[in-house]
Amino acid sequence: MSDESRAAAFRESVQGSSVELAYAGHKTFLKGEPREVENVDDVDAAALGIPYDGAVSNRPGARYGPEAIRSASGWWAYLSDYKGGLTNMQTGEQVNFDDLTVADCGDVPVFPMDSETTAESITAHVATVADQTFPVVLGGDHYCTFPAVRGFAEGAGHDRVGFVQIDAHTDTVSESPVFGTDFHGSSTALIADSPHTEYSDVSQVGIRGYESPEFFEFADETGLNLYTMRDIETEGIVSVVEDAVEAAAEDTDAVYVSFDIDAIDPSVAPGTGTPVPGGLTAGQALKTMEVLGASDAVGAMDLMEVAPRYDATEGTERIAAYLLVTLLERQFAE
């Protein structure tokens, strides 16, 4: 038998055999190499999925978010493989995705009926990645962000972490008579009550809908950096996000970015559990990630609350992947 298999001979002789179509192959984030979580110290970023939605207060389904985002992200891997260097027509920048190395560590173990053990799992796995490289967390409901931020701080050795939250909701409910203290509406309260972050280190962008009657007074008293959709309409998205990341980076060692997909208007991204009208446009969301990606302070990120079964067009997971790629592109590939 020849040392070279027929399959290898075919791939060598037929042009284009090395190009993997967006919908083909293993479903890893940006078609990154599958890696064990302990073996990512030689890549720019490593993805972790959290297929957990046991802490939602409305529609479930975010457990399917990581799988959907991974599948959607294959388009950019295909483009970069097929076309080589690319021109980003929104930014006008040349992008070489060969300069961006990404691994995919699969999904962390989750325990659907045990939020505490699930949180411990998230913290341990994010900490292991953060000790080596830039974590990219694919959610999952927004409660998962709390243990992820904790893992980032502990793994990277940061005493103080700033937090930029792009979201329709503030998630500052300390305790709910229905959902208790550990649900997706309490994640920011838990982060601000942790040893690594205070409310003055938190910037929230895109807030709308309804909060408690005294919420503006609460923001003033705690030092929370609050930017509502009205602020964005008045001041512009670039100015708001620049102010937000600057505030979160001040006096902190690094900034963790959390993007809840419900920050985007549900006419664009309906695949989420708690949609609120009047949100960011697709263009505003992408511009947000451009600005954040240009900040040296940003050291980790997540994309949460994608519930793909509420969007038959698959547009929600597509823009979610686009947002992640945009930030990583600015960080590592320009």
* 167 carries a ligand binding annotation: yes
Region 126-138 average pLDDT? 97
Render pLDDT for 275-303 as a digit per residue (tens, 0 to 9). Answer: 999 999 999 999 999 999 999 999 999 99
Separation CA 46–CA 134 (nearest Å):
6
The rounded Cα 16 to chain-centroid distance in angstroms is: 32
Please indicate, yes or no, if residue 280 is contained in any of the structural domains. Answer: yes
131 labelled ligand-binding: no
Q: Does residue 222 sit in helix, strand or coil?
A: helix
For residue 125, say whether it is annotated as part of any ligand binding site.
no
Residue 61 lies in a domain: yes
- Most distant CA pair in the chain, distance: 78
- Rounded CA separation 19/29 (Å): 16
Sign of torsion, CA 41 47 49 50? positive
Please report the pLDDT score of residue 77 as a whole number. 77
Task: With respect to residue 105, please indicate whether it lies within any of the assigned structural domains.
Answer: yes
What is the average pLDDT score of the chain?
91
User: Alpha-carbon torsion 276, 277, 278, 283, what sign?
Assistant: positive
Q: Which residues pair with 202 in a beta bridge?
A: 163
Report if residue 11 sits inside a domain: no
Give the pLDDT mean for 196-221. Answer: 94
Residue 259 lies in a domain: yes
The tokens for 98 are: 């060969």
Give the residue from 163, 251, 266 showing the smallest Cα distance to 205.
163
Q: Which domain holds residue 37?
A: 24-333
State yes or no: 44 annotated in a binding site. no
Q: How many domains does the chain have?
A: 1
The token pair that represents 43 in the structure block: 């890549």
**Predicted TM-score (pTM) of this structure:** 0.92
Answer yes or no: is 182 a known binding residue: no
DSSP 173-237: -S-BTTTBTSSTTSHHHHHHTSTT--GGGEEEEEE-S---TTHHHHHHHHT-EEEEHHHHHHH-H
* CATH number (domain holding residue 244): 3.40.800.10
Q: Judge whether 9 lies within some domain.
A: no
Asked whether the beta carbons of 276 and 169 are under 8 A apart, the reply is: yes
Does the residue 7 lie in any domain? no
Residue 91's SS3 state is coil
Tell whether 114 is covered by a domain: yes
175 exposure class (CB count in 10 Å sphere: 0-12, 13-18, 19+): exposed
260 annotated ligand-binding residue: yes
DSSP state of 206: E
Whether 1 shows a pLDDT value over 50: the answer reads: no
Tens digit of each residue's pLDDT (9 = 90 or more) over 11-35? 788 777 677 777 766 789 998 999 9
